[in-house]
Structure 1
Amino acid sequence: MTERLFGTDGVRGIANKELTPLLAYHLGRAGAYVLSETHDKPTVVVGRDTRISGDMLESALIAGICSVGANVLRVGVMPTPAVAFLTRHFGADAGVVISASHNPVEYNGIKFFNGEGFKLPDAMEDEIEALVKGPDGRIQSPTGPAVGRVVTEDGLHPYADFIKSAAGTDFRGLKVAIDCANGAAYRVAPLVFRELGAEVFVINDRPDGCNINVNCGSTSPEVIAGFVREVGADVGLSFDGDADRLIAVDEKGQVVDGDHIMAVCAEYMNRKGLLKNGTVVATVMSNMGFEVALKKAGIKTVRTKVGDRYVLEEMLKGGYNLGGEQSGHIIFLDHNTTGDGLLTAVKLLSVMVEEAKPLSELRNIMKVYPQILVNVEVKDKAGYAKSTSIKEAVEETEALLGENGRIVVRPSGTEPLIRVMVEGEDEKVIKDLAHRLAEVIRKELS
């Protein structure tokens, strides 16, 4: 292995091909050993989503953890943010979630949290990776009573209670439609909203190990939109496979994405004096209309690179408590340390109830600017940063747009692509500009 194992969201790959049981075992051993350097006989919370490969990888990972004398609290199928919360709730030394989020079923991943529910520091990930890739002579294999134990814990009810406590109100009188993506939210999401008093209608809550994210969930918002209209719901909530994202739908079936949700919650929080430093953290991909809406409300926007880890880093650095992505991965840092779809849903519905307004009215806080995204296949992604011609073309396009538009040009993190995003008031104009810029990049790098 020459590439770095840990990406921005843990170790991911096709299960049983790239992410093998043997790799999971070694990650468990190495992770538990690194933890044991600072904690005597550490305890690790382990949860997973509904993928068929979850059983296989969970067994291997737990075997690795126990083989170095660490103990495991197994919480079974739980959302990724639930594992972050339960790590703190049980006073564990670390948490691990086995999930590939919104990706297809053949993929899986292993993501570590520290005892506070945050992603492990890069230095600790590097140490784990070095042990996995090199000879693990340093790692001892205890015998007898020193071997680790596995205890199965109920994580569902503590997490549900935690989410309900963040609501601040009940949802009696609301009709709520939920798409569980046949994923990790299939039990806890309906439970939470029923216990908060809502009338709940649920689809895609029958996971069979292979149907996670298949034509459902937050990557297919048209499904929840149709269901909302069918049952006459006041709001639709669509989660992804590990329930760290939420895409909502109003009572008319209009999509309310992460930008809309953040804008609605930010304006409400700011008015109530709850938005720290009057600022929201978003990525470069958040719509220009989002920034314009917040500016009108007297709220600052700080932008980061794409990826929730960069949003969280900026939030911690600046002392902010709300940030997220257009995809619906939103962090309410006063409550949890990672994006949490159920928490986001509870916060959004609380605003609806407190303001006594339908979501269709609340979503009008922002006007969505037309946004064109063009993917350019290239041979040399790194060449983008060195090209004078591309730099000049970007500057020329920016000058044409002025203050009425925005350009983001960035290499894909996983594919041989340069992504060109152009935003502005006139869709025909920005489409033309995006394709002209893409053609310059294609000529230069292909």
Structure 2
Amino acid sequence: MGERRLFGTDGVRGLANGELLTPEFAVALSASAARVLAERDRSHRPVAVVGRDPRASGEMLEAAAIAGLASAGADAVRVGVLPTPAIAYLVGALDADLGVMISASHNPMPDNGIKLFAAGGHKLPDALESAVEAGIEHSGARPTGAAIGRVRDLADAGTRYIDHLLLATPGPLDGIRVVVDCAHGAASTVAPETYRRAGADVVALHAEPDGLNINDGVGSTHLGPLQEAVRAHGADLGIAHDGDADRCLAVDATGAEVDGDQLMAVLAIAMRESGELAENTLVTTVMSNLGLHLAMRAAGIAVRTTKVGDRYVLEELRAAGYTLGGEQSGHFIFPRHSTTGDGLLTALRLMARMAATGASLAELAGVVKPLPQVLQNVKVDDKAAVAASTVVKEAVTAAEAELGDTGRVLLRPSGTEQLVRVMVEAPTAELATSTAARLADVVASVH
């Protein structure tokens, strides 16, 4: 495997049955995960929860992952097609040692991925990921006879997850009509059922997965069909999930998109009013619009910012005991109820707020007035030289002084390319564009 890290920010992804993501790889990865995570507690045979989204290659990779787990002496609990957050929840609820989720989220059907959870349903820290990678090529002694892992199905896995979600919903959704776009993905059965059981009038859209149609022009990456359906059905809102339902996007009754920052504001204000918002603090990333920061300041809510990536949001939440965090992308975490982003829980809490206040989603989301934002990708010779450049720092300082409290500047080096991303928010699109262009020129001049 060389020095290449297999794990990205959200597990291992690639073309299913292509160069990397083969059944042989799934066997080796799962076996290594079982060995590494079992090392922490040798008092019992390790137990793993295994789930997947509906894409066709998931059947193949699920079989391979279960074979790998059993070959390493771990028992596998197969739960079938369920959202990623359901797998995380079940790992904790069943007191399992690890979880394996087979999904490529919003990626096209030919792709797939393998995501691992440690005990408690938490994402693996970097050190454990590295240990799992190192163990892929070193299987060691294999168990035989009665020591080989066993496999069982958990027939009521979906019901357990739905019951958990309903307990975490603040109130009934009576009077709410919602269209939910399931992207022909992992939430196709559980999302409509959950929202109905919570009291909503539900129109299910793209909830007939056949293994090949996941994310195909539908779901969170293609909002057009949802927007049309909301208007056609006279719904109060529309909810769009991605393939594994760890994210939630929304549109209001007119079909207008409500962005992730606006959703965060609605959720934060609701939790502050109910006393659930620890330290009256919201955790988000540096990419959230200044409009969110201004709205939170007006509502008496502090905002803590992290680097981009849900793992950094999670770290901040866990380190300080905060109770709500999220990303602009529609990925929200409620640590008292979930260890990872949960699109269904997000939607339930959003609709509960609408039902409790009688306000429309557009009214609730209106507390955030997003500032015009311009993002320019600047190709550079050396990202490190740009980061160290006095000329760049002076240009940024001058731009920030010009914008004052009415805008902001953010320079971010790409994690994978020789690029620097220049982001500017300002009161007008013209000012944002001109400021970004000026800074981009300065960045590009650094050699």
**Structure 2 partner of 1:420:** 422
Deviation of the 1:415 alpha carbon: 4.5
**Residues of 2 paired with 1:330 and 1:190: CA distance?**
20
Q: Using the alignment, how far apart are the partners of 1:161 and 1:256 within structure 2?
A: 28
Tell me what 2:350 maps to: 348
Give the secondary structure class of the aligned counterpart of 1:12.
strand
Counterpart residue identity of residue 385, structure 1: A
Q: Which residue of 2 aligns with 1:119?
A: 123
Q: Would the alpha carbon gap of residues 237 and 415 (structure 1) be closer, same or farther in structure 2, given more than 3 Å must change?
A: farther
Q: Which deviates more, 51-60 or 185-194?
A: 51-60
**Quick check: 2:291–2:370 contact (8 Å CA) kept in 1?**
yes
Give matches, 1:12-411, under 5 Å. 12-16=13-17, 17-39=19-41, 40-132=44-136, 134-136=137-139, 139-154=140-155, 155-411=157-413
What is the CA–CA distance in structure 2 between the aligned matches of 1:379 and 1:213, rounded to whole Å? Answer: 37
Alignment deviations for residues 128-147 of structure 1 (CA, whole Å, 9 cap, x no partner): 11112x433xx321112211
Q: 1:323 and 1:225 mapped to 2: Cα distance?
A: 26
Deviating more after overlay: 214-223 vs 245-254 = 214-223
Give a deviation string over 1:396-442, Cα, whole Å, max 9, x none.
32222222111111123344432221111111110111122223333
SS in 2 for 1:129: helix
| Residue identity in the other structure for 2:123 | K
Measured after TM superposition, the shift of residue 33 of structure 1 is 0.6
Whole-angstrom CA distance in 2 between matches of 1:414 and 1:206: 36
412-421 or 48-57, which deviates more: 412-421
TM-score normalised by structure 2 residue count: 0.95
TM-score (norm 1): 0.95
Moved more, 384-393 or 293-302: 384-393
Tell me the equivalent position of 2:10: 9
Q: 1:381 to 1:25 in 2, by over 3 A?
A: farther
**CA offsets 1:63-90 (integer angstroms, 9 cap, x no match):** 1111011000011111110100011122
- SS in structure 1 of the partner of residue 446 of structure 2: helix
Q: What is the RMSD of the two structures over their aligned residues, measured on CA atoms? A: 1.6
Q: Is the 8 A contact 2:56 2:211 kept in 1?
A: yes
Q: Decide whether aligned partners of structure 1 residues 165 and 394 sit closer, same or farther in structure 2, where only a CA change above 3 A counts.
A: same
State the Cα distance separating 1:54 from its structure 2 match.
1.2
Gap runs ≥5 in structure 2: none
What is the identity, as a one-letter code, of the residue corresponding to 2:95? G
Distance 1:94-1:353 versus aligned 2 partners, 3 A rule: same
Q: Does the CA contact (< 8 Å) of 2:176 and 2:351 recur in 1?
A: no
- In structure 1, the residue corresponding to 2:219 is in which secondary structure? coil
Give the superposition deviation at 1:287.
Answer: 0.9
Partner Cα separation in structure 1 for residue 211 and residue 184 of structure 2: 8
Take 1:41 and 1:426, find their aligned partners in 2: how far apart are those partners? 61
Give 1:288 deviation, angstroms.
0.6
Label 1:25 to 1:221 Cα distance change in 2 as closer, same or farther (>3 A).
same
Q: Using the TM superposition, give the Cα deviation of residue 371 of structure 1 relative to its aligned residue in structure 2, in angstroms.
A: 0.9
Letter of the aligned partner of 1:9 in structure 2? D
3-state SS of 2:400 partner: helix
Letter in 2 for 1:309: R
Q: Secondary structure at the match of 2:221?
A: coil
Q: 1:169 to 1:52 in 2, by over 3 A?
A: same
